[in-house]
Amino acid sequence: MNKNKVLVQLCIPVTGTSYDILLPRTISVHQAVCLISGFFTGMTGGAYMPEEDSVLCNMEDGRIYSLNSSVEDLHLKNGSKLMII
């Protein structure tokens, strides 16, 4: 596995789906939300339409991640469970 990326499980509660995705450790949460939102809007055929204030959260404790933090700053590791709301 690439040490510059982390494999996380991403849940999209609105659609009831989850996916394993690779995130670069250096990407900011804001950049990740934008990329994820665009990708999943297309992939779900428009079933997932993100809001401008979409956030990335820890799925286990509900903590909302700061948009300015990087994946590395959050100490995310392979298998971390996230959700986008």
In sequence order, what E strands does 1-85 have? 5-12, 17-24, 56-58, 81-84
Q: Which domains does the chain carry?
A: 5-84 (3.10.20.90)
Convert the pLDDT of each residue in 6-27 to its tens digit. Answer: 999 999 887 788 999 999 999 9
Q: What is the pTM of this model?
A: 0.82
Please measure the distance between the N-terminal and C-terminal CA atoms of the chain and give it in whole angstroms: 28
- For residue 66, pLDDT over 90 is answered with yes
Residue of 39 and 6 predicted with greater confidence: 6
pLDDT confidence band for 41 (50 / 70 / 90): confident
